[in-house]
């Protein structure tokens, strides 16, 4: 543990700055070009699913278990065995599931678009209302926020805690403001903090009494089986939201999204939505105008590659073996070089794809720019907030998955150098 920068006087900070600037200049001379900006699986992770390409070939049997030829039109909501596999992954009954294309983000966009133009289960289309608002737990997933911003929906920040969103605020807005139509949630290993909603939080969600009949929880369970550790004690548990909503008398209040994007091939996985029968019927009405059916061959490929959920979970432990050392490199570097210095805090998640770093207030943008000038690309500061506006300019999302271990070690070194230099400048500025 190092000495707190907050306890250093001006002369001590200037001496420290001189040493750090020499180290930073040496890094710049190395000509690094490293990318920690997005949570993309590495090449080694993609190789884990490579044999899926051999599952279907010219002489394959292309029919599903009902005898339907998957090469042809039909089967609007997905083949039965794909529903079972994704239902098991989602912890829901296959009958409460629709299999879509390759992207859950696409399903979310369509769901918001349909609500705008045609309403939710017969309610007034949002485009005809004076105000439409969405609650946005922050820091959160930038692509969620981009969808609601695209449609001109007003976004309201809800602070995140290790237990999940601030539920006092959520209840105040949802239960009393009929213009609040939804909330974005990444409930397990959240993006970017890696938090998992507590049982109490899930039950409070299920017990909401919305002022708007068309309010929906957008439950993006993107990292449902994305643990970093094999030890069950280090695997977060998330209460299943659909069953809790049904128990609370709110069966229609949630859309649950899931995909295999970070299980098999991003961009070539399968995505699904689970919801109540009423919601599914509402969705199917627009699907019949949009498509004759999604890629059943890809559904068949996934089913035959995995067979069942235990095999999928075993596959995810191979992902974990690749991911875990990367997270540990970042966390150990942060602890060694920033621990005790009081210029930043960070999360240590048990799963997911991100580490959330909070710098001193007013420093995040400068840190990202400083790292970029030394050859390390990070997610833009502010991206984890609606409209790209972090009111404290402090949060930075760290994505360890894509670089190699060596690259990650170098990138983490550059990052902590950047944090130290920018923090010293901020402290010196305050002293003046």
Q: How far apart are CA 81 and CA 282, in angstroms?
A: 23
Does 323 lie in the same domain as 361? yes
Does 325 lie in the same domain as 340? yes
Q: What percent of the chain has pLDDT over 90?
A: 98
Tokens describing residue 229: 């550790």
Does 169 lie in the same domain as 93? yes
Does 208 lie in the same domain as 180? yes
Last residue of a domain, one of 272, 307, 342: 307
Look at residue 1 and tell me whether its pLDDT is greater than 80: no
* Domain membership flag for residue 153: yes
pLDDT for 38? 86
DSSP codes joined into one string, 211-224 = SSTT-EEEEE-TTT
Window from 1-10, 20-29, 149-158, 276-285 with minimum mean pLDDT:
1-10
C-beta of residue 273 within 8 angstroms of C-beta of residue 78:
no
* Domain membership flag for residue 56: no
pLDDT for 247? 98
Calculate mean pLDDT across residues 57-65. 95
Last residue of a domain, one of 307, 336, 369: 307
DSSP codes joined into one string, 293-327 = ---HHHHHHHHHHH-SHHHHHHHHHHHHHHHHHHH
Does 102 lie in the same domain as 208? yes
Listed in sequence order, the DSSP H helices in 75-141 are: 80-90, 104-118
CATH number reported for the structural domain that contains residue 207 in this entry: 3.40.640.10
* Domain membership flag for residue 168: yes
Does 92 lie in the same domain as 229? yes
Does 286 lie in the same domain as 330? no
Look at the block and give the residue holding tokens 């400048």: 425
Last residue of a domain, one of 255, 280, 307: 307
Peptide bond into 256 cis (omega under 30): no
**Total of domains in the chain:** 2
Calculate mean pLDDT across residues 111-128. 98
pLDDT band of 432, cuts 50, 70, 90: confident
Q: Provide the residue range defining the domain that includes 350.
A: 5-45+313-431
CATH number reported for the structural domain that contains residue 399 in this entry: 3.90.1150.10
Calculate mean pLDDT across residues 106-126. 98
Does 293 lie in the same domain as 195? yes
DSSP three-state, residue 115: helix
The single-letter DSSP state of residue 380 is: P
* Domain membership flag for residue 182: yes
Does 347 lie in the same domain as 402? yes
* Domain membership flag for residue 51: no
Does 380 lie in the same domain as 286? no
Per residue in 245-287, pLDDT (tens digit) is 999 999 999 999 999 999 999 989 999 999 999 999 999 999 9
Residues 6 or more apart whose Cβ sits within 8 Å of residue 139:
160, 192, 193, 356, 384, 385, 390, 395, 397
Does 242 lie in the same domain as 328? no
Q: What percent of the chain has pLDDT over 70?
A: 100
Per residue in 388-423, pLDDT (tens digit) is 999 999 999 999 999 999 999 999 999 999 999 999
Look at the block and give the residue holding tokens 């292309």: 62
Per residue in 168-208, pLDDT (tens digit) is 999 999 999 999 999 999 999 999 999 999 999 999 999 99
pLDDT for 183? 98
Per residue in 360-378, pLDDT (tens digit) is 999 999 999 999 999 999 9
Q: Which long-range contacts (CB under 8 A, 24 or more apart) does 123-127 make?
A: 123/213, 123/214, 124/214, 126/151, 126/153, 126/181
* Domain membership flag for residue 323: yes
- The number of helix segments (H) and strand segments (E) in the chain equals 13, 13
* Domain membership flag for residue 57: no
C-beta of residue 206 within 8 angstroms of C-beta of residue 244:
yes
Does 402 lie in the same domain as 354? yes
* Domain membership flag for residue 379: yes
């Amino acid at each position: 543990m190092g000495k707190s920068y907050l306890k250093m006087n001006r002369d001590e900070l200037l001496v420290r700055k001189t040493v750090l600037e020499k180290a930073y200049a040496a890094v710049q001379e190395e000509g690094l070009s490293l990318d920690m900006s997005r949570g993309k699986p590495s090449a080694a992770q993609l190789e884990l699913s490579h044999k899926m390409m051999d599952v279907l070939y010219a002489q394959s049997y292309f029919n599903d278990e009902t005898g339907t030829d998957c090469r042809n039109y039909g089967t609007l909501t997905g083949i039965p065995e794909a529903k079972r596999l994704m239902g098991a992954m989602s912890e829901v009954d296959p009958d409460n599931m629709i299999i879509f294309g390759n992207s859950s983000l696409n399903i979310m966009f369509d769901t918001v678009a349909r609500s705008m133009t045609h309403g939710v289960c017969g309610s007034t289309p949002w485009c005809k209302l004076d105000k439409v608002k969405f609650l946005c737990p922050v820091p959160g997933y930038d692509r969620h926020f981009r969808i609601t911003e695209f449609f001109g929906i007003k976004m309201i920040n809800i602070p995140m805690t290790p237990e999940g969103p601030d539920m006092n605020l959520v209840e105040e807005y949802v239960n009393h403001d009929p213009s609040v139509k939804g909330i974005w949630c990444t409930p397990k290993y959240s993006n970017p903090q890696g938090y998992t909603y507590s049982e109490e939080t899930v039950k409070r969600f299920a017990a909401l009494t919305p002022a708007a009949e068309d309010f929906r929880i957008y439950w993006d369970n993107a990292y449902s089986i994305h643990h970093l550790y094999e030890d069950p004690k280090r695997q977060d548990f998330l209460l299943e939201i659909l069953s809790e909503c049904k128990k609370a008398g709110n069966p229609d209040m949630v859309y649950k999204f899931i995909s295999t994007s970070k299980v098999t091939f991003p961009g070539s996985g399968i995505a699904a939505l689970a919801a109540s029968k009423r919601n599914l019927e509402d969705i199917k009405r627009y699907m019949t105008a949009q498509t004759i059916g999604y890629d059943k061959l890809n559904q068949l490929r996934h089913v035959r590659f995995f067979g069942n959920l235990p095999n999928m979970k075993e596959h995810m432990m191979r992902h974990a073996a690749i991911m875990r050392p990367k997270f540990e490199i970042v966390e150990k570097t942060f602890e060694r070089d920033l621990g005790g210095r009081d210029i930043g805090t960070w999360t240590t998640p048990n799963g997911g794809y991100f580490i959330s770093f909070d710098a001193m207030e007013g420093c995040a943008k400068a840190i990202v720019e400083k790292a970029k000038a030394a050859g390390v690309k990070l997610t833009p500061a502010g991206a984890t907030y609606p409209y790209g506006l972090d009111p404290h300019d402090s949060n930075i999302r760290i994505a360890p998955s894509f670089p190699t271990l060596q690259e990650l070690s170098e990138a983490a070194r550059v990052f902590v150098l950047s944090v130290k230099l920018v923090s010293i400048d901020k402290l010196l500025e305050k002293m003046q």
